[in-house]
Structure 1
Amino acid sequence: MRNESILLVDDEAGILNMLDSLLRNEGYSHITKAGSAAEALTAVRTKCFEMIVLDVMLPDMDGFSLCREMRKTISTPILFLTARSSDLDKLQGLYLGGDDYVTKPFNPMEVVARIQAHLRRSSLYASHDSSTEEIYRYDTFTANRTTGQLIVNNVVISCPAKEFELLLYFCKHPNRVFTAQQLYEQVWGTMVQGDEKTVVIHISRLRKKLEDDPSHPKLIVTLRGIGYKFVPSSGK
């Protein structure tokens, strides 16, 4: 049996029960179901989760607002399930702190595969040898994998899990060019067409935290038609 705790948030009991059943068949037994935003907020305030699957259309609060509220206190990966499939809706969800999204109607096994990919990478991240500190120091920011802290201009900045993993991946591979697809495969795992947008939004969010002028980035630069490159000013 697997020890990871998963929170499923959806007002459709059929979807909750289906995902619960599929995940339990995969060995996940620590599953909490919530049918409203209020239930979800109560759950995250009383229990720690390694993964949250979040519907957008909830009866008491939309999932985007709920995500924003959750991000005030947790960095847990959040996967949106949304029937609002326009690019604008998807981008909004990612900008507000979501880590991934799947549109309804969805392939249930795709959702399970994405959950497993997030949990697998989180497990690898957590199993990193804590006896050896992994700290990246630069002129304006420090990323400490051991403590999970991002410090920008001497201020601790809240950074969701996937943003932080993406930043660490850049720090490990300075001055190397990666396509959005390569970054998604390395940081998120399972990929389908269109997931490049997830990478683009996460880079945008990182730039807002790290760059003096996010519209003219100097740390995470875009090479048009090629990809992205982290150009450290100094440090290691």
Structure 2
Amino acid sequence: MKNILIIEDDMAIAEIERDFLEIEGFEATIAADGNEGLRLALTGSYDMILLDLMLPGMSGYELCKAIREKYDIPILMVTAKSEIVDKVRGLGVGADDYIAKPFSPTELIARVKANLAQYERLTNGGANRTREVHAGPVRINQLTHRVYVHQKEVEFKNKEYELLLFLVSNPDIVFSKEQLYERIWEMDAIGDLKTVAVHINRLREKIESDPQYPKHIQTVWGAGYRFKL
């Protein structure tokens, strides 16, 4: 049974999240402020964290960064802040996904399951894969999940790693935002497709010599993205 930590100061919302998670067979614990949330998160007892951004004691951004320094479990930000700058900042400090309030319980459960499934695939599925994938300046070891750019190791978060691996494994093929969202986030493209653009920009920052003029992760206007060798 998966154990999920809900860090949310609005108890009405937190209890709704907990109730629907428990109906789906998850265990759920609520922390009502940032300091308590961090204390619980750092015990290592949880498989996933649902994290609000606006919290007393410590912001969700600070919390996410502190958790990421120790654990690589899925973090889903659940917040009323829906501006693109907030999403970029949240994903930049290590969140795997983002859902804006108000949300439907069905969407929340779908995102929780998709993120958990992807994490399990990343951590347990390497034995059946080709050990290394090479494309352009990128070399990916799928058994260790290590990525090298121009022979230098670079750290990639869960979704960044999965997106890069998919593009590198399918060079010169153009994928739309909808296709990438469905493949990487494992949900129908009903979510905010800005998530894909944010992750593409993060990849460019890490592998391109000049992210403003990318040579490898290219935009094909009106169609999507491709990895160019």
Common topology (TM > 0.5): yes
Are the equivalent residues in 1 in contact too, given 2:208–2:215 (CA < 8 A)? Answer: yes
User: Residue 62 in 1 paired to residue 59 in 2?
Assistant: yes
Once the two structures are superposed, residues 122-149 of structure 1 have per-residue CA deviations (whole angstroms, 9 ceiling, x without a partner) of: 2333442516543113453321221122
Q: Which runs of 4+ in 1 moved over 6 A?
A: none
Task: Report how far residue 115 of structure 1 moved.
Answer: 0.5
Structure 1 spans left out of the alignment, 5+ residues: none
Q: Which residue of 2 aligns with 1:161?
A: 158
Match of 2:17 in 1: 19
Q: Percent identity?
A: 38
* Shift in Å, 1:17: 2.2
Q: Do the aligned partners of 1:142 and 1:151 also contact (CA within 8 Å) in 2?
A: yes
Q: What is the CA–CA distance in structure 2 between the aligned matches of 1:50 and 1:159, rounded to whole Å?
A: 19
User: Using CA pairs below 8 Å that are at least 6 residues apart, which structure has the higher relative contact order?
Assistant: 1
What displacement does 1:52 show?
A: 1.8
CA distance in 2, matches of 1:48, 1:131: 28
Task: Say if 2:173 is the partner of 1:176.
Answer: yes
- 1:74 Cα shift? 3.0
**Which residue of 2 is the match for residue 95 of structure 1?**
92
Match for 1:7: what amino acid?
L
How far did 1:58 drift?
0.3
Match of 2:109 in 1: 112
Q: Tell me how far apart the structure 2 counterparts of residues 6 and 168 of structure 1 sit (CA, whole Å).
A: 27
Q: How many Å separate the matches in 1 of 2:26 and 2:164?
A: 29
* 1:49-76 Cα distance to aligned partner (Å, 9 max, x none): 4322110110012212322333333332
Q: CA deviation at 1:225?
A: 1.2
Q: Does 1:71 align with 2:73?
A: no
Normalising by structure 2, report the TM-score: 0.89
Counterpart CA distance in 2 for 1:152 and 1:134 is 17
1:140 aligns with 2:137: yes
Q: Aligned equivalents of 2:206 and 2:132: distance in 1?
A: 18
The count of corresponding residues between Structure 1 and Structure 2 is 229
User: Match of 1:177, SS?
Assistant: coil
The answer to whether the Cα contact below 8 Å between 1:8 and 1:52 also exists between their aligned partners in 2 is yes
Is 2:14 the partner of 1:52? no
SS across alignment from 1:14: helix
Counterparts of 1:85 and 1:127, CA distance in 2: 33
1:78, distance to aligned residue in structure 2 (A): 1.9
Counterpart residue identity of residue 96, structure 1: V
> Taking structure 1 as reference, are residues 110 and 139 closer, same or farther at Cα in structure 2, changes over 3 Å only?
closer
**What are structure 2's unaligned runs of at least 5 residues?**
none
TM-score (norm 1): 0.87
- Asked if 1 retains the 8 angstrom alpha-carbon contact of 2:9 and 2:31, the reply is yes
Aligned residue in 2 for 1:6: 4
